[in-house]
Amino acid sequence: MKPTPHPKADLHQVRQSIESGQIHLAEPLERALQACEQSACRHAYVLGAQAQLRQAIDDAGRQGPPDGSPLAGLPVSVKDLFDVAGQPTRAGSVVLQGPAATQDCPAVARVRAAGGLIAGRTNMTEFAFSGVGINPHHGTPINPADSRTPRIPGGSSSGAAVSVALGAAWLALGSDTGGSLRIPAALCGLVGFKSTARLVPTEGAIPLSTTLDTVGAITGSVRDAVLAHEVLAQRRVQSSGKTLAGARLALARTWMLDDMEGPVAAAFERSLRTLSAAGAQIEDIALEPIAELAQINAGGGFSAAESYAWHRPWLAQGAEQYDPRVAKRILRGAQMSAADYLDLLSARKRWIASMERQLQGYDAVISPTVPILAPPIAPLEHDDEAFFRVNALLLRNTSVANMLDGCAISLPCHAPDQLPVGLMLWHGALHDDRVLELAGQIEAALAGR
């Protein structure tokens, strides 16, 4: 095992350098092109970014500096889930063979309007239905954090995370239904923010669960996560003016701390000590309602029911073209009745109310993003039992925030010589600004700033 340092793409810093004339836009574009040409980036994109970047470099040479737009002409990768005008949307599958999209979906349109260069379409778990990131059709992007052992990148936004980790994009557009932004961010040493779902439109994105789907981004820093959210949600993040000292953080005990691998537990405990030394008040809280989720979702949950409703015609035409592991999970939805689905909606509403009562008075909840390090790819490719065991562990903590209709962010908390570990801050709906504010302060505390 040899953790590999990789370039952290700092969008703010590069944008300021461009605007001040210290560098020309062509320079970061050329660096992104070089990253795309690395063998490590081989499976990150399903629709090549190299031609787009070469054209952008040529255009930058003929044009003046950018107009001060938030994304400053820098490359943004787009998960193969979102409609981009003139391109097909395949969702990491070989099933969808329809025509190219006629227009950008709202999230992509907002990235363009903010001056982002749509660099390429990133690989993903087929139809976003797994936290592992393995794709049998297009290859599995390799986690750049380890130079010796090919490890999973996490999913479903697998290529998204790898594109940012390698410096092939400054921002990666992705989705999060049960952790699909935060899991790959945690395993690749990046920042992934899942906002309150209603804040960013999901139109023009192939759904996994219309109830739980959230559009967001993977970035290299919390500051860039704030910028990305402001672009995607078309709103300004407001500061409370509070510091980390005195913040009340709930440490959730139910489920969240179970089965942690040694390096994850060590990094998390070290982070808790750092935050306590900075004045944060960390209070143990059982959060017993979390234990109810297994029974609430026993029939497959929203993802099974709602994905099956969308996939029925495609399954009828060619179920054998699906990744069998994805098809298996989608088909669970066929067993749910309308009454079962209505019961699920009611159970979720009651569960959210119970959770929100227990979280009153806390600034955020703090948890490990995932309890394990990124495992090697090879043992999971052909062993279903191992695959589903790892998948369940990866999704266990992150999916709580989706069920809560809340917001959550994962940020790195490991030492530089270790494989990545993510720390997750989360809360209920519309606590986004406070969670982002705290995340920035925690990021600085962990970095010793």
Q: Which of 89, 53, 47 is nearest to 170 (CA)?
A: 53
Give the other-Cβ count within 10 Å of 102's Cβ. Answer: 8
Q: Which of 278, 438, 267, 284 is nearest to 358 (CA)?
A: 284
Quote the crossing angle between the two packed helices 432-446 and 262-277, to the nearest 10°.
100
Half-sphere exposure of 82 (CA within 13 A, CB side): 31
Place of tokens 């040529």: 58
DSSP string of 354-393, one letter each residue: HHHHHHTT-SEEEEES-SSPPPBSHHHHS-HHHHHHHHHH
| C-alpha–C-alpha distance, residues 112 and 76, integer Å | 9
Residues 6+ apart with CB under 8 A from 109: 103
Is 221 known to be catalytic? no
Is 147 known to be catalytic? no
Q: What backbone torsions phi and psi does residue 171 show, to the nearest 5 degrees? A: -160, 140
**Maximum separation of any 2 CA atoms in the chain, in Å:** 62
Identify the active-site residue in 79, 130, 209, 399: 79
**Pair 151, 337: CB distance under 8 Å:** no
| C-alpha–C-alpha distance, residues 145 and 303, integer Å | 30
Give the other-Cβ count within 10 Å of 240's Cβ. Answer: 11
Is 240 known to be catalytic? no
Q: What is the CA radius of gyration of the chain?
A: 21
Identify the active-site residue in 77, 93, 175, 180: 180
**Pair 212, 178: CB distance under 8 Å:** yes
| C-alpha–C-alpha distance, residues 192 and 170, integer Å | 13
Residue 171 is given by DSSP the state E
Beta strands 171-175 and 364-368, pairing class = unpaired
Identify the active-site residue in 77, 93, 130, 156: 156
Active-site residues: which are they? Answer: 79, 156, 180
